[in-house]
Structure 1
């Protein structure tokens, strides 16, 4: 039998809809704690946003009910709250208020400004004396008026007769409901909250023999700073950038992954509109101020390409300024296809490890990736080469005619201090309508504004690439 949810009228924070003064006192309030919970689900998005679905069982009276739904997120967006019931039965939401003024020694003292408290003192003999005083102020300290004096410091401690009704020990959403029938009912409260986020963290281990394959382990890193704990919760994750109306996402530690992850630990993935939804296979506790990691997937024997890359600055018409050092970047690339992970990769950081001669894993670099669909090539920049260096200079500038056409000449020198020859990819951005006139090595026109050369640099040797290009404006 299908369950039919009946949404209730939702209101903004503290707004009463068509209602005068509610005839409900604080003594009529029903406290609804976590012990009444039947189910809890949390869907976490990438940009400090989560959807919380909290289902609890409650005994309602006929007529008006005032329910204190305790332990909601301290980062709740109250205007997004939606109350529904999976059962038949007419309910009407009259008002909702988010009480986030929490009970602390400071807040309690503030609430007693203008009211009387007792000051209790204990002498060296253990004897206690009590004296009444009125709190005049509590700004950066306390000002007390006794019957015969005013003091600005407390010698002893303060005793309060009670806790004001508008102070809560937990973030609480107070709901005013009206129902025609008394009895037990299941209510589900859904709301958006900040303070919850997730990211993907990847650990890549290069094959120790040839270094041309790698194992990629992916972890989901959850972070809870919402002010409350989510216990025994069904956690779901959405990968993709949602559009949010902004009325006003921390580097996380990552654990080394084991080479294999249990199949039962892998989240289930499905398409959700334009996004991807990952459902963790087991309920879990996500405590406040906790970072938790959950295995996402593992993929082995992924073919990778290691390449050194030199990227020149965009070519324009300017005079040469002598030799300038160019960084030689170390890169690693792979394709997200059937030979690789072959699944949409959430945005995150890939950290790469390689083994030294003793078989110990050593960190060799990291790079961030964006949300990446299948069949796409991923290139990671891991750092700069130590023993392969490059320098570049402009050798010529000649203006051709009066239409802005120029001819430019360049040289790039590569030096290799390694014991073995190595291949370097040289990438030059050339703006405008250009034509290569001369070159010592044949280029590839990789894009409309990109010329690419692949050069073999001999061991303990050097090689020079020269080219001349005509650019029409």
Structure 2
């Protein structure tokens, strides 16, 4: 049977929608393919934030987040073209995972459309297409419309209007339609096959950039500097290109080398750790080799927003203050250094992250800023330091600055080269304290090679094989001297 006879017979049985028989005969087999696609291609179903029934976000330390977006979707039996609007503009589409409750849905294809609708993009996508240019006569107010072809937008718009080329638009450019490859919001279009029709609940999970978090701590020293009150905050920054409304927020503390398969699973399956003594705005649990913090209430993270949520609050945490000098004499073990310049002590404040200290919550890395009230009760900033991820029962040690009133000067009192590899030297360190109360000064020296203390005015402590530690009491508004001698073999 000829093609013409076949088509005539087919047209008598079932007309082909939107395509005349004459067009089929004129265009041939290509038209048949187009007609079949017109019949079978599903209309796009837009799934917007208005259809969202829940969203959960897990944010990691390294510009990485896991989004679990739950929305109601209308399904038809067979092919569905689902457009999830307002997904993250920085999503990694290769990580997208769609799960639908109550229906068997097979994803055949997905397209992430992040080319957003702007005047510049509209012109760019209209190259080679017809537009209208409307000019206004400002004297009369009359408008004139001309048809134009967009030739280029590289470095500026180039239009062909009639028999002339314009390198700048003489008026308003009017477009008949939005090009199909432009979207107003980031959109993931999923081509899926469903075994049944009806409303269903779908969860779209994916990894994305553009979401980050950091921990910040604010500490207030007591007047006697024996305790501090500390509040922990989580600073969230959303530059992902969409808003997450009433989200369940979870944060992972720990440096992830790469995304582990475990992290794509439901985070709630991890085993919870005992509740710490500090008042918590977030609960904490272990996750793989990391710690997972869950905000105990939903929160909205708006697009292009930085916000802070409470992490913890602890009062009357016992602290120790330390005045320390490090390596005042370390340069002089193999040669004569004579007398050194006077230097100021470094001030440290330390506490233990345990239940006894009213803490006991694994602390994410961040910046601790310390304040203290002056004699008039006005709060003053006294220093800040960064802490690393700190497990429970570990020490936290903050470097706050240099002590104005506690100083030291080192002097080498003996130097002798015993052989090519053996040296003996002695030192005297003068410590001064201009404060109205006595202080304990810590001296740290890193001694190279194989060493032996020959004499010392205070007993040393071996921190490790090459580090020695001494404590020296210095009276109020007074001074003290410390001396030691050492033999070093290289």
Q: TM-score range by the shorter chain?
A: 0.7 to 0.9
The 1:26/1:421 distance shift into structure 2, 3 A limit, reads: farther
Matches within 5 A, 1:364-383: 364-383=382-401
The answer to whether 1:117 aligns with 2:131 is yes
Which of 433, 458, 471 is equivalent to 2:450?
433
Q: Distance in 1 between matches of 2:62 and 2:414?
A: 50
Paired residue for 1:127? 142
The 1:363/1:23 distance shift into structure 2, 3 A limit, reads: farther
| Conserved? CA contact 1:70–1:170, under 8 Å | yes
CA RMSD in angstroms, aligned pairs only: 2.3
Which of 412, 419, 425 is equivalent to 1:401?
419
Which of 55, 71, 80 is equivalent to 1:40?
55
Paired residue for 2:26? none
Between 46-55 and 428-437, report the one with greater CA deviation. 428-437
Paired residue for 1:211? 225
Q: How many residue pairs were aligned?
A: 435
The answer to whether 1:140 aligns with 2:162 is no
Deviation at residue 364 of structure 1 after TM alignment: 0.8
Q: Distance in 1 between matches of 2:212 and 2:413?
A: 52
SS in 2 for 1:324: coil
| Conserved? CA contact 1:322–1:394, under 8 Å | yes
Q: Distance in 1 between matches of 2:213 and 2:154?
A: 39
Q: Distance in 2 between matches of 1:48 and 1:148?
A: 53
Deviation per residue, 1:197-250 (Å, 9 max, x gap): 112211111122x220111111222111111110011111111221127xxxxx
The answer to whether 1:362 aligns with 2:380 is yes
Deviation at residue 382 of structure 1 after TM alignment: 0.5
Q: Distance in 2 between matches of 1:394 and 1:163?
A: 82
| Conserved? CA contact 1:320–1:395, under 8 Å | no
The 1:389/1:90 distance shift into structure 2, 3 A limit, reads: same
SS in 2 for 1:387: strand
| Conserved? CA contact 1:312–1:326, under 8 Å | no
Deviation per residue, 1:349-370 (Å, 9 max, x gap): 1111111111121111111111
SS in 2 for 1:211: coil
Between 439-448 and 354-363, report the one with greater CA deviation. 439-448
Q: TM-score, normalised by structure 1?
A: 0.87
| Conserved? CA contact 1:324–1:393, under 8 Å | no
Which of 191, 198, 202 is equivalent to 2:206?
191
Unaligned segments of structure 1, at least 5 residues? 1-19, 246-261
SS in 1 for 2:404: coil
The 1:415/1:61 distance shift into structure 2, 3 A limit, reads: same
SS in 1 for 2:122: helix
Deviation at residue 345 of structure 1 after TM alignment: 1.1
Matches within 5 A, 1:145-294: 145-208=160-223, 210-244=224-258, 266-294=281-309
| Conserved? CA contact 1:351–1:366, under 8 Å | yes
Deviation at residue 384 of structure 1 after TM alignment: 0.7
Deviation at residue 394 of structure 1 after TM alignment: 4.2
Paired residue for 2:470? 453
Q: Distance in 2 between matches of 1:268 and 1:335?
A: 20
Q: Distance in 2 between matches of 1:393 and 1:174?
A: 75
Deviation at residue 393 of structure 1 after TM alignment: 4.4
Unaligned segments of structure 2, at least 5 residues? 1-32, 260-277
Deviation per residue, 1:320-343 (Å, 9 max, x gap): 264134441111011112222112
Deviation at residue 448 of structure 1 after TM alignment: 1.6
Q: Distance in 2 between matches of 1:374 and 1:318?
A: 45
Deviation at residue 378 of structure 1 after TM alignment: 1.3
Q: Distance in 2 between matches of 1:399 and 1:136?
A: 85
| Conserved? CA contact 1:303–1:339, under 8 Å | no
Q: TM-score, normalised by structure 2?
A: 0.84
The 1:275/1:23 distance shift into structure 2, 3 A limit, reads: farther
Paired residue for 1:10? none
Deviation at residue 37 of structure 1 after TM alignment: 1.0
